[in-house]
Chains A and B, each alone.
Chain A
Amino acid sequence: MSRRAAAAALFAFAALAAGWARARLDTLEAPRAGTKELLYLPNGKYLRAASLGQAPIVADVVYFWAIQYYSDYGREDRYKYIEHVFGTVIPELDAHFIDPYWLGALILTTEAGDVEGGLRLLDLGAERNPHEWILPFLAGWECDHAKEYDRAAAYFDRAARIPDAPAALVRLVAGMRARGGNLREAIAKWEEVLTDPRGDDVSHAIARRQVRTLRVRADLKDLDAAVLAFRERRGAPPRRLEDLVRAGLLGRVPLDPDGKPYGYDPATGTVSSEASRVLGS
């Protein structure tokens, strides 16, 4: 066999063998490194030193990598080092890079169901970036989803106090206070919206309607509680609402937002409001 023929045969053999091996390889699943891969991720402060003045771009690269890593839903224990990656490594490279804080928090709260972990990340970001209202704002929504309305209100309040935060954030504080059952605090917040010069006509109209609705709800709540206390003390509901004042259970009988007295059925001890019916609450 000539040298040329031998080379051609060897080439054909190698090409066929490579093709077969490639086809075989394609049928096999690629091995997964699992979270062990993360053990080799250097700490942010060492990466910063090694970056020689290019820490922001290294932070971007680690962030890109983290997005790819956490987009692979097949990984086991994928939530184990999220706080380390998004709360330590990337911030040590670029503490003012906001996105990793909220993305890490989103993965923790939405996918891992770890609300506290997500809030820790957002708190960390807010602590390092006190001028960024978006982080306490997102923390507020996470608390809202978790039905922790008072905590949500506190976060929205924190966000609203940051200069340049949208004026509408105070509405969220008021909304969360109302959801949490703190109706008087909610009214106070809506009144704040009403007097806020930054608010537009729509915002003021919403605030007026909310103040009116919540005032009725708060009054009815106070009256119901007083009637219940009266019933427990005397064994029967009061004949008139004024009896609640005489019994020392109320300072005064409130009037509804239209200045009319609240309705009262002495037979059942039920307090009602025409204003609330009008507003459909």
Chain B
Amino acid sequence: MKAIAAVALNTFREAIRDRVLYLILAVALVVVGGSRFVAMLTVGSEIKIVKDLGLAAISLFGLLIAVFVGVSLVSKEIERRTVYTLLAQPVARWQFVAGKYAGLLLVLASNVLVVGSAVLAAVAVMGEPPWVLVPAIALILVELAVVAAFAVLFSSFTNPILAAVGTVAVYVTGHLSWSFDLLKKRVAAGLARSLCDGLHAVLPNLDRLDLKAEAVHGAAIPAGTFAAAAAYGAFYALAVVVLACVVFERREFA
């Protein structure tokens, strides 16, 4: 546990030294701050626009961080050969990967905390209770945790470009996983239908982690639904990280 924490803290420190991270964060804050001006373009409830833009900023800029920081986490260490020094220490390979993931998760949580606080403040200033957005923001973090897990998985066996493509593909597929169910109804029974079923079950269903519309409209989000969604995302991410650890354990370095 100590080793994981050490790697995580190092990863976090390294990430927050990256100027790109600050640029992404600054743009996200500008989007949130500017949402009040954008809301002037609407006819009707400006507050909805502020909430929508805020939640989209948390989600999209978080995704950018998850992809750009996540895909090079492991591969960069291999490329720079710093991984040899690290693994010469009393750190197991799985601990290294788990620590890297935990560090990335810390970066993502910090980003969600900063941008999320700005969104909640903007909503509160407009005179609406901001707390209704908290479940949606929490699930955005869970979604980012799943995406980050894939970024670390791909990073553990391929180069950053391929890892970025793979992670974005997972994000896209995760939001379109309902289409496998649709496709299933249009193909003949047999292997194709089983494949659709399999993909629908195995690929992450990121739409189930999306409660943005419900939160924005102040709809009641049942505690059971929220807890089940959070558990699904958290366990899915855990499974992917375990897979990343296994892959990295088996990897041979030249």
Contact = CB atoms under 8 A, between A and B. Distances in A.
A263 B172 CA distance: 81
B52 interface: yes
B207 A63 contact: no
Contacts of B55: 56-57
Given A53-B59, A97-B48, A63 B42 contact: yes
A99 interface: yes
Contacts, number: 55
Contacts of B42: 60, 63-64, 67, 99
A72 B49 CA distance: 22
Interface of A is mostly: helix
Contact of B56 (A54, A97, A102, A103): A54
A105 interface: no
B187 to A, nearest CB: 19
A208 interface: no
A151 to B, nearest CB: 25
B81 interface: no
Contacts of B41: 64, 67
Contacts of A120: none
Interface stretch (B15-23, B193-201, B212-220): B212-220
Nearest to A71: B43
Given A49-B176, A49-B179, A56-B212, A98 B44 contact: yes
A25 interface: no
A184 interface: no
A67 B46 CA distance: 14
Given A49-B176, A49-B179, A52-B172, A57 B44 contact: no
A78 to B, nearest CB: 16
8 contacts: A53-B207, A54-B60, A56-B56, A57-B52, A57-B56, A96-B219, A98-B45, A99-B42
Interface of B: 41-45, 48-49, 52-53, 55-56, 59-60, 143, 171-172, 175-176, 179, 206-207, 210, 212-213, 216-217, 219
